[in-house]
Homo-oligomer: A and B are copies of this chain.
Amino acid sequence: MSSNTVLINTKQQIADKIKELKAVSGTHSPSIETVLKQLPQVKIEVDACFLSNPYATDLFLEHLNKDLIETNLLRRTLEFYPPQNHDVADSISTVTGIPAKNIFAGNGAIEAIQAVLHNFLAKKIVVIIPTFSSYYEFVGENAEVVFYKLKKSEDYKLNVEDYIEFVKNEKPDTIVLINPNNPNGGYILQSDVNRIITELNFVSNLIIDESFIHFAHESEAMEEVSCGSLIAANPNLIIVKSMSKDFGIAGLRAGYAIMNENRVAKLLKNGYLWNVSGLADYFFKLYANDYFRKEYDVVRKKYIVETATFLKDLQSIDGIKTYPSKANFALVEFLNETTSFDFTISLLADNGIYVRDCSDKIGLEGQFVRVASRTLLENKLITAAFRGKFQ
């Protein structure tokens, strides 16, 4: 048996196993833990499937070590019941300036998404595709999902006029904007978000998911943007925010949603007791400190700058098209006969790089993978591997 045959066998085995794992993971990638457990022969050097700022993870772990591990206070955090939802909301209020009564603290943003869709969606939701699949998968049997399709000819960028017209015609009770959008990174300017909110004020639940907004910016100074402050004037507005991406702490499960106080009260009236873990509460308390936010802002900006360079590098590779993005990832399309599944397996087997095969993403026409920006060094490995495959 030649070494070539072994390699091919291994690739085939990886492909078979990934297909199998994918079948039970629904429209989400099998987690890296699951892949590593099932494929011990694979050495993942770079998890470019995972959308997070690794420098922020470093920063968080540095504080966690100092505050909880070195002091032995970790025990207290794990042993005792965590504070209730309204206590966690107090920390988030300090960060956002939004009153605590308007904040629902979640076990990840995904819990807030589920809570909103299960409790407030009535009959019809308009979802922009391609998108994060939970926004249609979590919809119950009694509600209708209508897709608004971003156009490939417009690089999957939202056409604000056309979208407003579409929603006015469909008359849904719920709509969702992810800004920047996942999986393409398309960004809607705050002025356009404002216009959408104004024009579509008849919609009962106007969900804006800002989970990737810390990577976007409109100013030279790269200041954070958000439409959270519009909550006061727009009781139909619901802002969803994950902490997993910008802080690189997906395993912690931390997120929140900002919404009208009556909605928060309704959710907390008969549920969501102790839904935020002791460690996630520690994160929110840390985030409420000025010194931490200052340190975080440095690593946020560093990562934004490196991501921009990375996406530019990817854009310069022939044979693929890297779509414009204001998030920490980009959609990459294969312009030749390459299929995204084969490419994903090949990149994993040959280079130890795990990217997101987008063949299950509805609303995309063609063969796409989503590539996350990681550390400077990892980004260089990714671009080198892509170049190697296409040159």
Contacts and interface: CB of A to CB of B under 8 A. Distances in A.
Chain A interface size band reads: 35 or more
Interface of A: 24-26, 28, 31-34, 47, 50, 52, 54, 57, 60-61, 64, 69, 74-84, 86-87, 107-108, 110-111, 114, 117-118, 134, 137-140, 244, 248-253, 270-275, 277-281
B251 A77 contact: yes
B75 A57 contact: yes
A79 B114 contact: no
A270 B114 CA distance: 8
Contact of A81 (B74, B77, B244): B244
A170 B246 CA distance: 53
A320 to B, nearest CB: 26
Nearest to A114: B271
Contact of A250 (B60, B74, B80, B84): B80
Nearest to A51: B81
A49 to B, nearest CB: 9
A100 to B, nearest CB: 11
A76 B50 CA distance: 12
A27 B230 CA distance: 34
Contacts of A114: 270-273
Given A69-B69, A107-B275, A275-B107, A33 B250 contact: no
A253 B118 contact: no
Nearest to A115: B271
Contact of A84 (B25, B60, B64, B76): B25
A287 B152 CA distance: 49
A87 B137 contact: no
Contacts of A277: 107, 251-253, 277, 279-280
B81 A251 contact: yes
Contacts of A139: 270
A376 to B, nearest CB: 17
Question: Interface centre among A69, A108, A134, A270, by most B CB within 10 Å?
Answer: A270
B25 A82 contact: no
Given A75-B61, A110-B273, A82 B33 contact: yes
30 contacts: A24-B84, A26-B84, A28-B273, A31-B81, A31-B84, A34-B83, A54-B79, A60-B78, A61-B74, A64-B78, A78-B279, A79-B249, A79-B250, A80-B250, A80-B251, A81-B244, A81-B250, A82-B251, A107-B277, A108-B274, A114-B270, A118-B270, A137-B270, A138-B270, A250-B278, A252-B277, A252-B278, A252-B279, A277-B277, A277-B280
